[in-house]
Chains A and B, each alone.
Chain A
Amino acid sequence: NAGVMQNPRHLVRRRGQEARLRCSPMKGHSHVYWYRQLPEEGLKFMVYLQKENIIDESGMPKERFSAEFPKEGPSILRIQQVVRGDSAAYFCASSPRLASDTQYFGPGTRLTVL
């Protein structure tokens, strides 16, 4: 049973380009969470999605960031017109259902903006 998969593992973008980060949850998991980790900081919640629904995006910047979890395929975190401050590790986690279920994390995507 494969764990949470994220790709790419490393992504380099120049300022102004778009970054697309992908997350495939564990088999049987229908809840996906995205977190961002800045250097020397803890993980910060960004967005929580179920299939075809954004449940909570309170941690996501209002501009340039968007997320989706389509009926088929991975969840995607999209950052438009990246800036240097977007450089961070982006982790995806999944859980099988609501309430009291552990979130299992993927290996993360390390985004570097030049």
Chain B
Amino acid sequence: EDKVVQSPLSLVVHEGDTVTLNCSYEVTNFRSLLWYKQEKKAPTFLFMLTSSGIEKKSGRLSSILDKKELFSILNITATQTGDSAVYLCAVEAQGGSEKLVFGKGTKLTVNP
């Protein structure tokens, strides 16, 4: 059965800190890995990763995938209180119904 495990489950930091969120996965016929940010509403798309070793960046956020070791990390530098959210990692398998398998998320709290 496809599985996604995120760590840590929760994290509390101070503004300005750098954080690294982890996502490991087991999936048959991997297609892509996605990161979402969920505040008290819709998960909003951050990144889609399909190739190993290629970093994707968006402002203070970046992410990279390692298909050999089956994990991804999401980095946030110079954190701000607005980064407080649950960060969700999901994987999609090829040949299936395009459904996403989600981890439980990492709850990030950034204190001023």
Contacts and interface: CB of A to CB of B under 8 A. Distances in A.
B44 interface: yes
A104 B88 CA distance: 13
Nearest to A40: B104
Interface stretch (A10-18, A63-71, A91-99): A91-99
A59 B98 CA distance: 13
B97 interface: yes
A102 B99 contact: no
* Interface size class of chain A, counting residues whose CB lies under 8 Å from the partner chain: 20 to 34
A100 B50 contact: yes
Interface string A81-114: 0000000000101010011111111111000000
A3 B42 CA distance: 10
Contacts, number: 64
Contact of A43 (B41, B96, B98, B102): B102
Given A43-B88, A102-B34, A48 B98 contact: yes
* Interface size class of chain B, counting residues whose CB lies under 8 Å from the partner chain: 20 to 34
B96 A105 contact: no
Interface in B71-112: 88, 90, 96-105
B75 to A, nearest CB: 20
Contacts of B31: 99-100
Given A91-B42, A100-B50, A56 B97 contact: yes
Judged by DSSP, the binding face of B is: strand
Contacts of A98: 98
Contact of A91 (B43, B48, B101): B43
A100 B100 CA distance: 11
A105 B36 contact: yes
B3 to A, nearest CB: 11
A99 B42 contact: no
Contacts of A106: 42
A3 B4 CA distance: 27
Contact of B42 (A41, A56, A101, A105): A105
B104 A42 contact: yes
B98 A102 contact: no
